[in-house]
């Protein structure tokens, strides 16, 4: 693809580099030749560092450098581009002028993207004739390293171009998040906007000094405190954004007196050597102080949750996308959605009311859904129903034999009448988080209530089962962790309780929580080289989604102690020797092999007999031998009256395959 980047500043140079790294032909254009020289130097230095660190080879460096041309000729640079990314300063008139020129000179099928941080796309495209090809591609600094790119559509952007831009984002190794509505600040900067207003108000009101709050924030694990970060970004840039939000979101963003005074005095932060702090040494010299706790991390979370809820209410972005964007854009282990899920509606509402009252700021007032007690409901939004371009959550394709229900973290497929398959479907080896547990619970119930389904197969979408629990999931305290463990135990136990045969198909990794999930199945099959294990003890934890109990019952105390106390992984072959896995399938054919096994069981066994047998085995292990025998006799008695038993014996005598009805 031919890509032209307009503006060789802080952002443009990184954007040009990442496109070239992924094999695109790039022209970096800037009206100022010195800016091109700086851009070229930055690109060379970055590639050299990558060679030093053995990330790329010298030949690759040369190849990437050969992919980038530098130019000050706007028209020549843009006319044959398939994609133009504009990265000139955040001035609406300048961007309008650039886009009106691009509109005239670019090929009709080229996509024109702006890297604006805040400005609505529709403002930039105001006077254009072909608005359907213009959209936002908002990269984060440094663009060649940060994984996030927000893809923003205006009302005029066509579906095809929007989806094409998402694919382009993926093709250069980024995680694109969809911003479905043109709204100031999009996702990450919008979530950050009331934070800035809050930090300004804290110092305007003399509640805390910058160093007190920064010292507290660093103690909470943030790499930089909020004032140090504003200094780093540039206080003029911050004020510029606040001015825009004052016009587009709320006039309250005009507050922030102390910050505006600093800018008027020319104290812009790092770039001018002085801001909230002195930067003359190149680093912020922050006065030593005790961290203050007048402002807490929960105040900041409450404000961010509120803004996230507003974004969902306004149908700008879906909760999962917001969570992902904040995590990746702000380098955080979790975003506002997962924090909100760990709180009650009443808690969030109370905190926001208090903040709004004590700072006298309407922006902090709880959003409508929080006022109406609908926080949990809004957080579980899976699609903006029936809007143009929105995808339905559940999809039933009558023409296909396979029926699918998509949850946000997994897919349930009804493969044929009697077999359902759950595919875990999360980034990074299907890590398990609270959302996945919730979806799994619902999916198991969905399968449970379908009387036709006899066998449930669970595996991961792609090459792996699950590498375990997502350790960055936000869990506020010890008691919450107890509850989180109970939640996993309870949901995995459903696999043991469901009156259907459950098969776990293990490939790639089944570690920690992923392995525990597979242990809750009735039968496990795997590839020879699959990696299984419970590494929790090596992380200062224990297997707490039933692994500490279930493994010993399955393979005996001695082997379970060995696996849990060493945290060592075993292969599929070793797991077969341990009695964990019943059958091994080659890597290339395990999906088909496991499905075939599920289909065979579903056709050759009576569903009533299989579900009673499963229950007997599981329950019998926990009761005295004689009680187990009694349960066995009763179950046999129940089966004796069934049509299935008659069919089974008739089929045997008539030398034909049985046809069970589950009656």
Question: Does the footprint of ligand NAD cover residue 90 (CB under 6 A)?
Answer: yes
Would you say 99 or 585 has its CB closer to ligand NAD?
99
Kindly state whether residue 115 participates in binding ligand NAD, applying the rule CB under 6 A: yes
Residue among 33 and 251 whose Cβ is closer to ligand NAD: 33
Distance in angstroms (rounded) separating the CA atoms of residues 186 and 119: 9
Which one among 31, 372, 566, 589 touches ligand NAD, defined by CB under 6 A? Answer: 31
d(CA 174, CA 474): 24
The correct pick among 32, 394, 565, 638 for binding ligand NAD (CB under 6 A) is 32
Dihedral of CA 449/450/453/456: which sign? negative
Which of the ranges 89-97, 336-344, 369-377, 553-561 carries the binding residues for ligand NAD, by CB under 6 A?
89-97
Beta strands in 599-641 (DSSP E): none
Q: How far apart are CA 269 and CA 514, in angstroms?
A: 47
User: Least distance (Å) from ligand NAD to the CB of residue 560?
Assistant: 51
Nearest to 496 by CA among 515, 519, 477: 519
DSSP label of 132 = G
Identified binder of ligand NAD from the candidate list 6, 217, 348, 410, rule CB under 6 A:
6
Cα angle 561-562-565, degrees, rounded to a multiple of 5: 70
User: Is 4 a binder of ligand NAD (CB under 6 A)?
Assistant: no
Does residue 81 belong to the site contacting ligand NAD (CB under 6 A)? no
Beta bridge partners of 153: none
**Which of 88, 203, 300, 440 is in the footprint of ligand NAD by CB under 6 A?**
88
Return the number of the residue (134 or 410) whose C-beta is nearest ligand NAD.
Answer: 134
Q: How far is the CB of 117 from ligand NAD (least distance, A)?
A: 4
Q: Which is nearer to ligand NAD, 326 or 608 (CB)?
A: 326
Q: How far is the CB of 46 from ligand NAD (least distance, A)?
A: 15
Range in contact with ligand NAD (rule: CB under 6 A) among 31-39, 126-134, 306-314, 536-544: 31-39
Sign of the alpha-carbon dihedral angle for 397, 402, 403, 406? negative
Query: Cβ contacts of residue 496 below 8 Å, gap of 6+?
Result: 502, 520, 522, 618
> How many residues bind ligand NAD, per CB under 6 A?
23
State yes or no: residue 89 binds ligand NAD (CB under 6 A): yes
Residues 136-195 that bind ligand NAD (CB under 6 A): 140-141
**Does residue 35 interact with ligand NAD by CB under 6 A?**
yes
113 interacts with ligand NAD by CB under 6 A: no
CA 428 to CA 1: how far, in whole Å? Answer: 28
**How long, in residues, is the chain?**
663
Instruction: Decide: is 7 part of the binding site for ligand NAD (CB under 6 A).
Output: yes
> Rounded to 10 degrees, what is the CA torsion of 6, 8, 9, 11?
60
C-beta nearest to ligand NAD: residue: 9
CB 12 within 8 A of CB 87: yes
Establish if 117 lies at the interface with ligand NAD (CB under 6 A): yes
Q: In the set 30, 214, 516, 522, which binds ligand NAD (CB under 6 A)?
A: 30
Position 43 contacts ligand NAD (CB under 6 A): no
Report the residue number, 89 or 373, with the smaller CB distance to ligand NAD. Answer: 89
> C-beta of 38: minimal distance to ligand NAD in Å?
8
Q: Does 436 bind ligand NAD (CB under 6 A)?
A: no
Query: How far is it, in rounded angstroms, from Cα 216 to Cα 292?
Result: 6
Interacting residues of 257 by C-beta distance below 8 A, sequence separation 6+: 200, 204
Cα 455 → chain centroid: 30
DSSP symbols for 135-187: EEEEE-SSTTT--EEEEE--TTS-HHHHHHHHHHHHHTT-EEEEE-S--TTTT
What is the strand order of the sheet 509-511 is part of?
509-511, 531-533, 570-571
Does 123 participate in binding ligand NAD (rule CB under 6 A)?
Answer: no
| β-bridge pairing 570-571 and 531-533 | antiparallel
Shortest distance (Å) from residue 14 CB to ligand NAD: 9
Which residue in the set 3, 5, 12, 135 belongs to the binding site for ligand NAD (CB under 6 A)? 12
CB of 3 to ligand NAD, least distance (A): 15
We find the least distance from the C-beta atom of residue 496 to ligand NAD, in angstroms, to be: 50
Note whether 10 binds ligand NAD by CB under 6 A: yes
The Cα angle at residue 516 between residues 332 and 611, in degrees rounded to 5: 135
Stretch that binds ligand NAD, among 41-49, 86-94, 197-205, 249-257 (CB under 6 A): 86-94
**Rounded to 5 degrees, what are φ and ψ at 576?**
-70, -40
Phi, psi of 203 (to 5 degrees): -80, -35
Helix (H) or strand (E) segment spanning residue 105: helix 92-105
Label residue 318 left, alpha or beta by phi (over 0 means left) and psi (-120 to 50 means alpha).
Answer: beta
Candidates 3, 4, 5, 11; binder of ligand NAD (CB under 6 A) is: 11
Active-site residue list: 516, 536
Alpha-carbon distance of 280 to 274, in angstroms, equals 7
Shorter beta-carbon distance to ligand NAD: residue 40 or 548: 40
Residue from the set 46, 116, 201, 466 that interacts with ligand NAD by CB under 6 A: 116
Residue 110 touching ligand NAD (CB under 6 A): no
Among residues 309, 303, 304, which one has the least CA distance to residue 370?
309
Please, what is the minimum distance in Å from the beta carbon of residue 235 to ligand NAD? 14
Q: Of 6 and 423, which CB lies nearer to ligand NAD in the complex structure?
A: 6
Q: How far is the CB of 562 from ligand NAD (least distance, A)?
A: 51
Strand ranges (DSSP E) for 285-362?
none
Shortest reach from residue 34's CB to ligand NAD, in Å = 8
Nearer to ligand NAD, 44 or 487 (CB): 44
State how far the Cα of 86 lies from the Cα of 111, in Å rounded to an integer. 11
Which range in 4-12, 406-414, 622-630, 632-640 contacts ligand NAD by CB under 6 A?
4-12
Residue 462 found at the interface with ligand NAD (CB under 6 A): no
What does the longest C-alpha to C-alpha distance in the chain come to?
A: 98
8 touches ligand NAD by CB under 6 A? yes
Q: Which residues bind ligand NAD (CB under 6 A)?
A: 6-12, 29-32, 35, 87-90, 94, 98, 115-117, 140-141
């Amino acid at each position: 693809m031919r890509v032209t980047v307009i503006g060789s500043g802080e952002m443009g140079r990184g954007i040009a580099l990442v496109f070239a790294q992924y094999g695109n032909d790039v022209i970096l254009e800037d009206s100022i030749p010195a800016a091109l020289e700086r851009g070229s130097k930055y690109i060379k230095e970055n590639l050299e560092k990558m060679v030093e660190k053995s990330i790329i080879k010298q030949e690759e460096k040369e190849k990437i450098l050969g992919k980038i041309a530098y130019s000050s000729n706007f028209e020549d640079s843009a006319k044959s581009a398939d994609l133009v990314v504009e990265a000139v300063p955040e001035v609406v008139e300048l961007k309008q002028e650039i886009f009106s020129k691009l509109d005239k000179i670019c090929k009709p099928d080229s996509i024109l993207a702006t890297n604006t941080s805040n400005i609505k796309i529709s403002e930039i495209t105001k006077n254009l004739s072909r608005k359907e090809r213009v959209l936002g591609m908002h990269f984060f600094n440094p663009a060649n390293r940060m994984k996030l790119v927000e893809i923003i559509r205006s009302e005029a952007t066509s579906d095809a171009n929007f989806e094409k831009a998402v694919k382009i984002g993926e093709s250069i190794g980024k995680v694109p998040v969809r911003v479905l509505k043109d709204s100031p600040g999009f996702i990450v900067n919008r979530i950050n906007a009331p934070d800035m207003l809050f930090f300004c108000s804290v110092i305007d009101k003399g509640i805390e000094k910058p160093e007190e709050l920064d010292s507290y924030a660093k103690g909470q694990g943030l790499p930089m405190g909020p004032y140090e970060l504003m200094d780093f970004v540039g206080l003029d840039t911050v004020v510029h954004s606040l001015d825009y939000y004052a016009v587009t979101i709320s006039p309250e963003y005009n507050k922030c007196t102390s910050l505006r005074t600093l800018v008027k005095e020319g104290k812009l932060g790092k770039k001018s050597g002085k801001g909230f702090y002195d930067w003359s040494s190149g680093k912020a010299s922050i006065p030593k102080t005790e961290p203050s706790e007048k402002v807490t991390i929960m105040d900041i979370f409450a404000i961010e949750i509120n803004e996230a809820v507003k974004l969902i209410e306004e149908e700008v972005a879906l909760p999962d996308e917001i969570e992902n964007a904040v995590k990746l854009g702000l380098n955080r282990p979790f975003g506002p959605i997962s924090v909100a899920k760990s709180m009650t509606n009443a808690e969030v509402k109370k905190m926001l009311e208090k903040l709004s009252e004590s700072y006298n700021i309407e922006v902090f007032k709880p959003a409508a859904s929080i006022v109406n007690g609908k926080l949990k409901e809004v957080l579980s939004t899976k699609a903006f129903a029936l809007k143009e371009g929105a995808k339905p959550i559940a999809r039933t394709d009558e023409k296909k034999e396979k029926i699918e229900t998509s949850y946000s973290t997994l897919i349930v497929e009804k493969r044929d009448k009697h077999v359902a398959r759950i595919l875990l479907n999360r980034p990074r080896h299907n890590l398990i988080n609270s959302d996945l547990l919730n979806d799994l619970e619902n999916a198991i119930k969905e399968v449970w209530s379908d009387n036709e389904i006899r066998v449930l197969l669970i595996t991961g979408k792609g090459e792996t089962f699950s590498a375990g629990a997502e350790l960055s999931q936000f869990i506020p305290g010890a008691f919450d962790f107890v509850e989180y463990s109970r939640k996993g135990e309870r949901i995995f136990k459903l696999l043991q309780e469901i009156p259907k045969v459950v098969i776990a198909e293990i490939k790639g990794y089944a570690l920690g929580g992923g392995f525990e999930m597979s242990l809750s199945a009735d039968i496990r099959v795997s590839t020879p080289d699959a990696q299984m294990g419970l590494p929790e003890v090596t992380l200062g934890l224990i297997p707490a989604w039933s692994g500490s109990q279930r493994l010993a019952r399955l393979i005996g105390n001695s082997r379970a102690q060995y696996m849990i106390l060493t945290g060592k992984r075993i292969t599929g072959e070793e797991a077969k020797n341990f009695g964990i896995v019943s059958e091994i399938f080659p890597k290339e054919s395990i999906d088909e092999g496991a499905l075939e096994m599920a289909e065979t069981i579903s056709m050759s066994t009576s569903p009533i007999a299989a579900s009673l047998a499963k229950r007997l085995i599981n329950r019998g292990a926990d009761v005295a031998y004689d009680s187990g025998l009694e349960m066995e006799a009763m179950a046999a008695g129940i089966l004796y009256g069934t049509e299935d038993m008659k069919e089974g014996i008739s089929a045997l005598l008539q030398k034909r395959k049985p046809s069970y009805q589950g009656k």
